[in-house]
Amino acid sequence: MQEREQTANVIRAYKDVINTRTKSKASIIADSELYAKRLGPIIGGVAGKLSPAVGYACADGLTVQEQCTVSNVAPFTGENLHPGPIPEANMYLREARFVNRVSAGTAAMIKQIRDYNPEVLSPAFSMPAGRTDKDKVRHAVLYSTDYRSSLYSLMVDYLNSRILMRYDINHLKMLMLECMHLYMELYRIKGGNSFTSDLTSLDMSRILQNIEAMIQYFQLAQNDKLVFARWDIIHELRQMEKHALGAKTDIIDYL
């Protein structure tokens, strides 16, 4: 009898713990809608799909290999960024680490982008009549400059001005693709038909770690031309980081 009572107490305690980690579907839907709305203007997301010009440009030129490693994006740590010993007080730089790997879902999305998939790239950015949705996407990739992305617009301006180099751009492209996939997952979840995601808490932790590493990179950039531009990029990355962190803690951690 006593053993049964102890077992019942353990079960009750376990249920109490589980209850603190549960969240109503209505709250998950509301939070998904909120963070999708906030991420969209940064990465070029509109109505659950992506600007073809931005999505394709980010996927183009990145080489995703086995285990989702991006071979032409170099990993780095805080020690690589700092010319000497890192001060003890600079915790963010000491912990900075950029991993050149994307989630499996992002890798799959990149393949769909390269195939001009209208389920990922929005055909609404191309207006010629008499075309299939895939043809409209291909046309938009070739001719549209409607980015709908505050970060990508900066990347284009600073690349054309030779303020950003290809090295910088590829790292930023990788981050944008990860957050594009997050945006699409959030938009799908907000529809209320599915409360699962192929993004895990570990995936989100890596994405956040990579965003912070790039912020540290731009803060320490030695290129004189970059001094005035880097704060615009850091601002965009901070916004991306804030909304990705919110999506992780309020949604992905509960799925």
Amino acid (one-letter) located at 38: R
Residue 225 tokens, joined: 């031309």
Q: In this structure, are residues 170 and 210 in contact, taking their beta carbons and an 8 Å threshold?
A: no
DSSP alpha helices (H): ranges in 69-160?
Answer: 78-81, 91-95, 104-114, 133-143, 150-160
Q: Which amino acid is at 226?
A: L
Indicate whether 13 pLDDT > 90: no
Per-residue pLDDT reduced to its tens digit, 73-86: 999 998 888 877 87
- Measured in degrees and rounded to the nearest 5, phi and psi for residue 88 equal -55, -35
Contact 51, 184 (CB under 8 A): no
The Cα–Cα gap between 54 and 200 comes to 25
Please report, for the chain, the start and end positions of each structural domain, with discontinuous segments joined by +.
24-254
CA distance 183 to 189: 10
CA distance 180 to 50: 8
253 Cβ contact partners less than 8 Å away, ≥ 6 residues apart: 201, 204
- Quote the strand ranges of the chain, DSSP E: 45-46, 49-50, 76-77, 97-98
pLDDT at residue 219 greater than cutoff 60:
yes
Mean pLDDT of 197-210: 96
Q: Give residue 223's pLDDT.
A: 56
What per-residue confidence (pLDDT) applies to 152?
Answer: 96
Percent of all residues in the chain with a pLDDT value above 70, rounded to a whole number: 88
Q: Answer whether residue 111 shows pLDDT above 90.
A: yes
Q: Helix or strand or coil: residue 64?
A: strand
Could you tell me the two tokens for 84?
Answer: 């000497």
> Mean pLDDT across the stretch 149-176?
91
Closest C-alpha to 158, from 228, 222, 221: 228
Residue appearing with tokens 């400059």: 145
Mean pLDDT computed over every residue of the chain = 87
Structure confidence by residue, pLDDT tens digits, 129-162:
658 999 999 999 999 888 999 999 999 998 888 7
On the question of pLDDT at 18 being above 60, the answer is no
Q: Identify the band that residue 225 occupies on the pLDDT scale cut at 50, 70 and 90.
A: low
Q: Which of 100, 99, 112 is nearest to 65 (CA)?
A: 100
How far is 140 from 124, CA to CA, in rounded Å? 9
Burial class (CB in 10 A: 0-12, 13-18, 19+), 177: buried
pLDDT at 63: 94
Is the confidence at residue 35, as pLDDT, over 90? yes
Measured between its terminal Cα atoms, the distance across the chain in Å is 37
Residue found by looking up tokens 């490693």 in the block: 69
Distance of CA 106 to the CA centre of its chain: 9
